[in-house]
Structure formats: structure tokens, C-alpha cells
Structure 1
Amino acid sequence: MNTKRWAVDKYVDGQESYPQISQAADFLINNEVVAFPTETVYGLGGNAENDEAVAKIFAAKGRPSDNPLIIHIGEKQQLDGFVEEIPAKAKQLMKAFWPGPLTLIFKKKENKLSNKATAGLSTVAVRMPDHPVALAIIKKANLPIAAPSANRSGRPSPTTAEHVREDLHGKIAGIVDAGPTGVGVESTVLDCTATIPVILRPGGITKEQLEAVIGEVTVDPALVDSGQAPKSPGMKYRHYAPEAPLYLVEGTKEFIQKLVNEKKEEGLSVGVLTTEENKDFYQADFVFACGKRANVESIASSLYDVLRNFNHTEADLIFSEMFPNEGVGHAIMNRLMKAAGHRVIKS
């Protein structure tokens, strides 16, 4: 398949009048799949009402069929077409955080969306992205768009069009390139069908921010205990992983260097994932800084890019520092734990 690539400037007004936007929307209307940027990561979009389009998303990604897709909308009114009801707390959150990196789970109307998109569940996950290009494409297509991250399943999510090309060139119809994304980690997923809303995936909106708007919010126990079965089907799979085995290290940078030295003595090439503050300390074969520890948002925005950078090295294994597990740091550690397969070395 020839993968078309459109370059657009996200800072220019009147996105919907761009021919590139119209062409990408036409592809979606014709049930092709197209990658486009959101404020979190690049998404792989397809018509959520059409089984054929949704099947193309799963095929391109190699995604398990029991892992439902998030539906992206350009206008809040679109919810009326496929959601049974909008709880009062969800309305408050939509007012506070939409458009933005927050996915809300609702009870769905039957026979309105492809069952493949919702993996046959009675619920549907929806968000409105806060990116002018994404919104322009969705509005132009005038469809609910199913859009998981635009990468091969299991690999780090894409934050640039080049990341998408690396994974999906020749497998999808097109890529809309509007430069790097912003937040870097995916949206927070919140189940609004429960009496007390439940976070199923931490992301760009923190628990504290949610509670400031609607009061008590709980967290899926599986997010803090790997022995628990996750409520969100997709969270049971390994995600975000670089090609070399990744190990999280709970200890000082001196302890991490000791581990590096031991592996180098065994003849292995070793990588270290750290931050700007510590990058000059490590004596390893490959050292990549992932933002600044003093600015957790910078870690989130560069995390996937750094994980992908290791794939362009000859590292046999990677040691990663741990980060504060609070606020956006909760999302960062969730992604790193998944990428490492919950492998943690303690000093």
C-alpha cells in the first residue's frame, strides 16, 4: 500500500479549508485509515461506524481484537448519536477538560457504532482531542473516529509523524504530519458508568485535577497491583516497550552504575534512561535523558521518543531510573512499568 503523507501547519487558522485536511477526511469517509496528531500522541483514525475501517486499524497495528478503541469526536453534540446518557459528573468533566487529554467511558447505544470498535462491550470510551489538526479532520469527516495510538502494538507510542512512518508505512492509507505532539503520554481514561468514577488508565489529566471538579475518584486496583486483573481490557497487554529488555531500578544512581558495570563486564552493551540532571553521571554505552526531573511534564513529553531512540542503538538491555509516582508522574510510571513488563530491580 502506498502511504500518502500530508504536511500541515497546526498554527495556521482555518484548518478545515486546507486541501490536506479535506483529503485526509475523504480517506476516512471512504473507510480508509489515516494517522493524525493529537495533543497526546499520534492517533490512527478510522470510521467508528464501519466494520471494515475498524478492522483495518486492528490489522495495521497488530492489535488484539478484545482491546477496544477510543472514539474521537469534534463536537460534544456527536455524543448524542451513540451514547445512552451523559451522567452529571461527566458533564462537569467535559466542561472542565474537553477538548483535552481525558477519555470518558459511557454506556453506549446499540447498533450505532461498529461492535469491533468497542470490542463487543456495552460501554464506549470517548474523548475530544485538543489539537487543531485533529479537530479539523474529525469535523470535516463528520464522523465519530476510532483512533488508538498510531504504532505497532507493544511498541512505544508515536509522538512524531516519523515514528508513525517507522511502524506503519505501507500498512495505512495516510499520515498527516503536523510536527511533534505536546503532552506525550496518552489521555487519562475514566469510567463514568460507576457511582464513583474510576481511573482505568492514568494520563494527561491527574486524579487531583479530576477530584477538584467532581469530588472522589477511585483508581483501578490493577494500576498499583500487577497481580490484579485490570478493568480496562487493553491494560492487560504489554505496551510501550523498546526492543531491548527494560528494567526499572529502585535505588541511587550509584547503584544503577554498579548494575551497568556488572553487565558491561559480561560483554553486554548497556543503555540508561535518565534525566538531564543525571545524564553526565553514567558511564554506559548509551545514555538518553528524558526531560528534567524538576519538570515532570518534560519527562512525559519526551518519554516515548527516548524509548524509541534505544531501538536505533545496539543496546542489549536498558536500565531506567524511577520517577515520582504522583500527578503526571503516575502516568509516566504506569507506562514504564508496562514497558518493562513490571521488572523492577531494588537496591
Structure 2
Amino acid sequence: MAIFKTQVVSEHEDGAISSAVELLRAGNLVAIPTETVYGLAADATEHCAVQQIYEAKGRPSNNPLICHVSDIEMAKSYVVVPPIAEKMMQRFWPGPLSLVLEMRQATKIALPVSAGLHTLAVRCPDHEITRQIIRALGHPIAAPSANPSGKLSPTSVADVKTGLGGKIPLIIDGGNTDVGIESTIVGVRAGKLYLLRPGTVTADDISQAMGEPVFDRDNSEITAPGQLASHYAPTAHVRMNASHADDSEIMIGFGDVAGNYTLSHSGDLREAAQNLFRILRAADNTGAQTIAVAPIPNHSIGIAINDRLKRAAAPREAT
């Protein structure tokens, strides 16, 4: 893989959009800001460019990518959008909700984006410059998190540089991300809604807005990003539901449970989600063998936080 002198350009700088689009059109990768985490973008219609995402991240080829679109109309060019999916798009887009829908047969989306599946995950990000880049490119971008596969997701430019510096030519600096964890993913099949990955748009939010139940994922096959057993992992081991830190551990608190760091002093789940990867990274950088994490209530956004922590705590595959 090519070695680059990675350039960082502020989203407010003149020429930021044109620079990103020029690189994407040439088949290169660009790290872009979204409201969730930073994404590693390629033109989703270019096979070789998308393959570079898997190579740069060290990502398993059976782990599909999310296509980011500029609006609902662009999504409709690549996936079949039933009425319930369009209603969700109108309610939650732009925003941290990805929908897995049937891919159109005549689509030009590169095969590695869907990992060979007949479905495609689509999302319209709530970050203006990223939508402008997609609009100027004229195609969706495939954009998983801009980090080595399985590691902590990046919520700042510094995180991206640490993980992918030298592997990509450009990072668009949009500051620290607002949401802090990856999008909710919902599959739509035969008119029913399935939660494939929890996020800050909760199953209750969707059910309330749609007037329809949201079912749990009903099989163990990988049908969307973020479903690998071990994922979002620091170098240190992670111990969940801890009331205190043992020897050789560092503590991440929440609410009334104190720690060396805290996800939220007030017990605010949205604040905890925003801080999760940043604080896990800070705790990991201390060199502690184990990161102990206080109990997180398993409701609302807490379901998504616990999902990330469970995958961070899962046994890692030998490399």
C-alpha cells in the first residue's frame, strides 16, 4: 500500500471540499468528519478504491460498509425504499441512523461495499461538509470508521492520525464529533424492522415514531457493520460493571461511581456516549493492564454503550 504524507485540512478552509472530491475521484481515501465518528471514505462506485478501505483498516472482507448519501433521493437510486423506510428517513435523516435495504439490481455500487450481500446499508450524515462532498462527488461514499479494524473508533483528527497516519493522503478536520459512537443500524425486511446495531437513535425512538415494533436481530450472520464479537477494543482488557478498580486496573466511572475518569458525573447517557471512545483511549494510554468500567444502565442509549463495551471486552482473536 502507498505511503502518504497525511495532510490535515480544516473543514472551513477554502478548497477543502474540492480537495477531498479530487482525491476521491482519483480513487484515493479521505478521512471525513461525521456527527458520529470520523469515517474513512472512498467513492462507493469504485471497486479498487473500496478495496483500499479494507486494506488500510485491515478489515475482514465479510464485514460490509455503510454507504453515505447526500439525501433521500440519492439513496433511492441505489436501494429499494419501502414506505416505512422512507418515513424513517424523513424523521431521522440527516442523522445517526443507517438503514439496511434491498439493493437495486442495476446499481453501480462496488461489490466489496456490500460484502457480496444483496442488501446495502445507507445513511445521510448530519455533517454539512460531508454531505457537500458527497453531493459534489455525485456518488455515495463508503465510509466505515477511520481506524484500524477492531480498535477504538476515532472521534478526533488526532485519533485518525494515530491509527491511519501515512496510509491516507487527507483528513478533513471537523473538530471533535458530537455523538461519539457509531450510527444505529436498522434492517427493513418484509415490512418489519430489525435492530442490527444499537446507537443513540434508540429502538424506542424508532418504534414511537413509526408506530411499529423494532425486533432484535434474529440470527448470528454478519448482515451489517459493527456485528463482530470483538470490536471497538483498546489494547488493555476491559472489565464491565465494576464498582472499583483492582490492582493494575484503571477505573472509568459513571454517575455516583467514581473513577480516574468518568463518562458522565451526572449519569447522563448521551454525554457518556459522546465521551466513551475518548475516555477509553485516554485510559488505555496510561498503560494499565485492565480498564474497569462502572455499570451503565441498560436502557435507552445505555444499550448502545453496553454493546460497545461488551465487544471491547470480548476475547480477541490471535493475530
TM tier, shorter chain? over 0.9
What's the offset of the Cα at 1:318? 1.5
CA deviation map 1:214-255 (0-9, x unaligned): 221111157xxxxx55654641341111101111136xx3xx
Where does residue 5 of structure 1 map in the other structure?
Answer: 8
Where does residue 12 of structure 1 map in the other structure?
Answer: none
Task: Please give the secondary structure, in 1, of the residue aligned with 2:101.
Answer: strand
Structure with bigger gyration radius: 1
Where does residue 112 of structure 1 map in the other structure?
Answer: 108
For residue 283 of structure 2, the aligned residue among 304, 307, 310 is 310
Q: Is the 8 A contact 1:154 1:238 kept in 2?
A: yes
What's the offset of the Cα at 1:132? 1.3
What's the offset of the Cα at 1:77? 1.3
**1:1-347 map, 5 Å:** 1-9=4-12, 18-83=14-79, 85-110=80-105, 111-214=107-210, 215-220=212-217, 231-232=223-224, 234-249=226-241, 253=243, 256-257=244-245, 260=246, 264=247, 269-275=248-254, 277-279=256-258, 282=259, 287-341=260-314
CA RMSD of aligned residues (A): 1.9
Task: Please give the secondary structure, in 2, of the residue aligned with 1:243.
Answer: coil
Task: Please give the secondary structure, in 2, of the residue aligned with 1:192.
Answer: strand
Q: Is the 8 A contact 2:69 2:134 kept in 1?
A: yes
Task: Please give the secondary structure, in 2, of the residue aligned with 1:60.
Answer: helix
What's the offset of the Cα at 1:342? 7.3
Q: Is the 8 A contact 1:44 1:57 kept in 2?
A: yes
What's the offset of the Cα at 1:311? 2.8
Q: Is the 8 A contact 1:239 1:339 kept in 2?
A: yes
Q: Is the 8 A contact 1:221 1:230 kept in 2?
A: no
Calculate percent identity across the aligned residue pairs. Answer: 36
168 and 296 in structure 1: CA distance in 2 versus 1, 3 angstrom threshold: same
193 and 4 in structure 1: CA distance in 2 versus 1, 3 angstrom threshold: same
Matched residues in 2 for 1:141 and 1:232: separation?
A: 25
274 and 300 in structure 1: CA distance in 2 versus 1, 3 angstrom threshold: same
What's the offset of the Cα at 1:293? 4.6
Matched residues in 2 for 1:154 and 1:310: separation?
A: 17
Matched residues in 2 for 1:81 and 1:186: separation?
A: 24
Q: Is the 8 A contact 2:65 2:143 kept in 1?
A: yes
Unaligned runs of 5+ in 2: none
Task: Please give the secondary structure, in 1, of the residue aligned with 2:230.
Answer: coil
For 1:341, the aligned partner's letter is: A
What's the offset of the Cα at 1:143? 1.4
153 and 218 in structure 1: CA distance in 2 versus 1, 3 angstrom threshold: same
Matched residues in 1 for 2:183 and 2:120: separation?
A: 15
Task: Please give the secondary structure, in 2, of the residue aligned with 1:323.
Answer: coil
Unaligned runs of 5+ in 1: 10-14, 223-227
